[in-house]
Amino acid sequence: MVKSSNQFGKFIRNRIKPRGKQNIGLLIKLYMKNILALLTCMIMLFPVWGVAQVRVLSENIEFSGKIGSSQRKSLIIQNESSQTKEYSLKFLRGNIGSSQNVKICIGEKCYDPKKELGKLKITLKPNEIFTDLYLEFEMGISEVKGSFDLQFANIANVRDVFQIEAVYEVYNPIEDETNHKDISLGSVYPNPSHRIAQIDYEFKNPNAKAKIAINSFIGNPIAEYELDPHQKTLVINVADLNPGVYFYTLFVDNKNIVTKKLVVKK
């Protein structure tokens, strides 16, 4: 009886053992296949992540202005490699209106990316910080906001790319102009504001001293801005202000001329 039991146990062990080895072998094969697939993906993606040699140093590019105006922004890029690189504009992408226009300039030489895509080329020396690059944006004839981006690719290696992103907002300010014998002043726009507020003005007497003072709703002074006779727009950064109602006052030769309301939202 004991002998029969031992023979039966031996039979069972011999039947299970090969199957266990087969299962382990199958698991090892599946594991190796997954590892191989992961390594293949990493190798394929590495050029996209690792090859880019140019870094955009400029802060967020933002155009904000009234209908019919235009603005020019400086762009700063750096070649972080130890080799000379040449890049060309690959594409312009975004929702730019039919009445709006964007140009890319190297110094005073400007290009229309919609018509001269292949003409714009930038050569960067090893570790060079390039500061002679600009974006010009014409606001157009309608009140709208949107974004666009420009992608540049290395002529010798299309995987080596860098991208410049920009946003814009066009306003149609309410015509509520204050006319003084020394200066004319428009209303703030946009109103409400959440990042930047602008006030257009024009000196009639360049010798006059004019300023804008901003106060909180309860009258606490917030900021003062001297108006430059050689400029026509005051740009006010309201991003750091708490949401609420503020008042801005025009002073000419230290006399209070007019006070208007500014609303800040987040």
Reduced 3-state DSSP string for 110-170 = EECCCCCCCCCEEEECCCCEEEEEEEEEECCCCCCEEEEEEEEEECCCCCCEEEEEEEEEE
State residue 260's pLDDT score. 93
Q: What is residue 65's predicted lDDT score, i.e. its pLDDT?
A: 86
Q: What is the spatial distance between Cα 230 and Cα 228, in angstroms, rounded to a whole number?
A: 5
Instruction: Name the band, by pLDDT with cuts 50, 70 and 90, for residue 2.
Output: very low
For residues 166 and 135, the answer to whether their CB atoms sit within 8 Å is yes
pTM over 0.85: no
Please write the tens of the pLDDT for every residue from 53-69.
899 998 789 998 888 88
Q: What is the residue-averaged pLDDT of the chain? A: 84
User: Is 27 a residue whose pLDDT tops 60?
Assistant: no
Give yes or no for residue 125 having a pLDDT over 90. yes
pLDDT digit string, tens, across residues 150-204: 999 999 998 999 999 999 989 887 667 888 999 999 999 989 998 899 999 999 9
